[in-house]
Amino acid sequence: MSLHRFFVLLASILALGVSRSAEAAAPGDPTPKPVSLTFIANEGVLIVGSTQKVLIDAPFTESYGIFAVPSAAVLGQIRTATPPFDGLTCILATHGDGDHISLEEAGLHLQRDTRCAFFAPTAVTSAFGKLPFPADLTERMKSAAPGESPTRVKFGDLEVTAVPVAHLLRPPTMPPPPPNVAHVLTIDGIRFAHTGDMGPHTLDAIRRSVLPGEHIDVMIVNVYFFAAETIDSARAILAEVKPQVVLLAHLGPNAPAKQAEPILKLAGFPRMIALDTPMQTYSVSREENGIRIEKR
Q: Which of residues 87-116 bind Zn ion (CB under 5 A)?
A: 99
Residues in 120-139 at the binding interface with Zn ion, rule: CB under 5 A:
none
Binding characters for Zn ion, 245-274, by CB under 5 A (x = yes)? ------------------------------
Using CB under 5 A as the binding criterion, the count of chain residues that bind Zn ion stands at 2
Q: Binding pattern to Zn ion, positions 180-199, x when CB under 5 A?
A: -----------------x--
CB of 13 to Zn ion, least distance (A): 58
Instruction: Output the smallest distance, CB 202 to Zn ion, in A.
Output: 15
Q: What is the x/- site pattern for Zn ion, positions 143-182, by CB under 5 A?
A: ----------------------------------------
* Between 198 and 273, CB nearer to Zn ion: 198
Is residue 57 involved in binding Zn ion (CB under 5 A)? no
Q: Which is nearer to Zn ion, 113 or 197 (CB)?
A: 197
The residue (of 212 and 252) whose beta carbon lies closer to Zn ion is: 252
Least distance between Zn ion and beta carbon 29 (Å): 42
Decide whether 197 or 276 has the Cβ nearer to Zn ion.
Answer: 197
* Parallel, antiparallel or unpaired: strands 35-39 and 271-274: unpaired
Shortest Cβ distance from residue 241 to Zn ion (Å)? Answer: 20
**Which residues make up the interface to Zn ion (CB under 5 A)?**
99, 197
